[in-house]
Amino acid sequence: MSELPALPVTFRPGRTRAVLLTAGIAIFVVITTVALLLEQLGPGEKLSFVFTGALLFAVLALLARVKVVADETGVTVVNIASRRHLEWAEILQVNLRPGDPWVFLNLSDGTSLPVLGIQPGIAKERAIADARTLRALAEDRSQRDLP
C-alpha cells in the first residue's frame, strides 16, 4: 500500500448496511400497514403488530451499526452489542483469510477480536481493501510506537 488514509477513517459494510436498513423499514411499513388494514383486529392487537414491526426494525438496525473507526489513539470496534477501543500497540495482526465471515484482530493479550465492520459478504473486494488498509495502518502505527 503506497499511501495511508488520513485519520480518522471509518470502515463499515456499506452495502450490507443499506440492505439491512432498507429491509427493516420495509418490514416495519408492511407489518404496520397490514395491522391498520385488518379491521377485525382490536386496538391492542394492532398495537402489538406495530410493536413487532418496530422490534424487527430495531434488530436489523442493531445488525447494521457495526463499524471500525481508526484514529490517532487506536481503533474502536463497534460490533452488534459491544464497543471496544484498542490502542495501536494492542493490535498484533489484522486477519481476513479466505472463508472468514469478517476480519479478526489478534491482540497482545493472546485473544482474537472479531471485527464485524469489515466483512466480505456482499462486497468482497471492498472488504479485502479495507482489511489491507487497516493492516497497513496497524503496522505503521506499531512501528511508530517502537523506541
Average pLDDT over residues 91-106: 94
Distances 50 to 39, 41, 47 between C-alpha atoms, Å: 15, 12, 5
Q: How confident is the model at residue 144 (pLDDT cuts 50, 70, 90)?
A: low
The vertex-137 CA angle with 100 and 97, nearest 5°, equals 15
Average pLDDT over residues 117-135: 91
Instruction: Supply φ then ψ for residue 138, to 5 degrees.
Output: -65, -45
Residue type (1 letter), 133 = T
- Segment 36-86, tens digit of pLDDT: 999 999 999 999 999 999 999 999 999 999 999 999 999 999 999 999 999
When computed from its CA atoms, the radius of gyration of the chain, rounded to whole angstroms, is 20
User: Greater confidence, 133 or 123?
Assistant: 133
Average pLDDT over residues 119-141: 91
Q: Which residue has the cell 470496534?
A: 77
Handedness of CA 98, 101, 102, 104 (dihedral sign): negative
Q: Which residue has the cell 392487537?
A: 45
Is the confidence at residue 1, as pLDDT, over 80? no
Is the confidence at residue 2, as pLDDT, over 70? no
pTM: 0.82
Cβ atoms 9, 70 nearer than 8 A: yes
Residue 39 grid coordinates: 379491521
Q: Is the peptide bond before 8 cis (omega within 30 degrees of 0)?
A: yes
Counting every residue, how long is the chain? 147
Cα 143 to chain centroid distance, Å, stands at 27
Instruction: Supply φ then ψ for residue 117, to 5 degrees.
Output: -70, -15
